[in-house]
Chain A
């Protein structure tokens, strides 16, 4: 496991190993309900996919499976040719996941929160410099609040702390669950721009959102059939 991990980090973010995410008849259950049924999907470099579906159709469940958080699924998911059940570490090194929960500690400042995250997820060998963290925070408009405790910030601002990770990240796969929640119109525009930039570099993104999104290179993946069939039976 350790040799595999160190091998991966020697490679540049865009290595000869062509990144790919392949889902083969993935099904997820929640309780007794079948949420995602027999989903197959092939994602290649520079491509994004938008998972669509009404509330409760299993978008979050699917994203948690793809991020490696949830093991309750059938079928297989391969990241760069490796089954994610077997090689959790290679998926973890390449993936940035932002879920419904921001992962922001209310008692800490945005700067402290971001620096904690960076030390866990940006494995460069030493701590990410303060200037870089501040630059990421200013990208999301939080430079003035860098040292304010997060519980004094609004919901949208706390969300922006989580999104500031996108400006530090060189992960090849972004998994974003409702990233635009509580974000204002200009913020959404900047975010779309950032995601488009990410795809242009040959990376991938999986996004769920109920808002309209204008980014080139995104395919749509509706998640409706599974739950409605299940309800009918």
Chain B
């Protein structure tokens, strides 16, 4: 039995890799999934700059809140597709029936999704920070906050996606289910940027964000697995 353990671990690794790579392959072949959230974020931020007007101080006062809410919406809208295609073509059945732990499978799927939605939004953050008049020295802090925050948003949003996957149109329901859960991430996320702008210490809010991320990674997959199993019973 002891000789068998490394083999089982290797099989785990193979399954995790296969899921991650397959999902990334699929995403890269359908450009819309990874371009749309990014374009959405850029367009909404542009609308804010037009709506609030050219006054730089008015813009930068609200910049951190605007960026976080828009990033949240961009990620949330893209999450509807996370499990839907797999549900429709039957891959989800095969995934749920795999003897490999579902926890890792869910982790791989959410991670792949974050790579193509959350990460581009983080990487583009210097661009729209400048549009909103955020000081240049705050931009790295903002990007760091979004890097951690987008992970939280992806994992929590995936719970909503798993619960609504068997419904024909889950878009708005995902929002209703997950928006309340986003409250802590939004509070600490925009607080983090505000602290950098005001010159307050960063560590307290950053550790809260990290804590939320770790909590989301550990606990969200359990809820996601439950949601996916339920989807097979309807």
Contacts and interface: CB of A to CB of B under 8 A. Distances in A.
Contact of B98 (A92, A104, A149): A92
Given A10-B1, A69-B232, A107-B29, A123 B100 contact: yes
Given A70-B232, A125-B7, A125-B11, A103 B90 contact: yes
Contacts of A72: 233
Given A69-B96, A70-B233, A127-B18, A6 B8 contact: yes
Given A107-B30, A120-B15, A126-B10, A69 B93 contact: yes
Interface stretch (A93-101, A192-200, A203-211): A93-101
B233 A120 contact: no
Interface string A117-139: 10111011111000000000000
Contacts of A99: 90, 93
Contact of B91 (A10, A103, A123, A125): A103
Contacts of A102: 89-90
Interface in B63-119: 85, 88-91, 93-100, 105
Given A117-B94, A119-B15, A125-B11, A108 B99 contact: no
Contacts of B168: none
A120 B26 contact: no
A120 B18 contact: yes
Interface in A53-107: 64, 67-72, 89, 92-93, 95, 97, 99-107
B169 interface: no
Contacts of B91: 103-105
A9 interface: yes
B97 A125 contact: no
A186 interface: no
A69 B22 CA distance: 23
A170 interface: no
Nearest to A165: B94
B32 to A, nearest CB: 12
Most buried by B among A89, A99, A102, A125: A125
Interface of B: 1, 4-8, 10-11, 14-15, 17-19, 22, 25-26, 29-30, 85, 88-91, 93-100, 105, 229, 232-233
20 contacts: A5-B99, A10-B1, A64-B232, A95-B97, A97-B94, A99-B93, A105-B91, A107-B25, A107-B26, A112-B22, A119-B14, A119-B17, A119-B18, A120-B18, A121-B99, A124-B7, A124-B11, A125-B10, A126-B10, A126-B11
Interface of A: 2-3, 5-7, 9-10, 64, 67-72, 89, 92-93, 95, 97, 99-108, 112, 115-117, 119-121, 123-127, 149
For the complex of A and B, 9 pairs with smallest distance between CB atoms: A101-B90, A119-B18, A125-B7, A103-B90, A120-B98, A123-B11, A92-B99, A103-B94, A93-B99
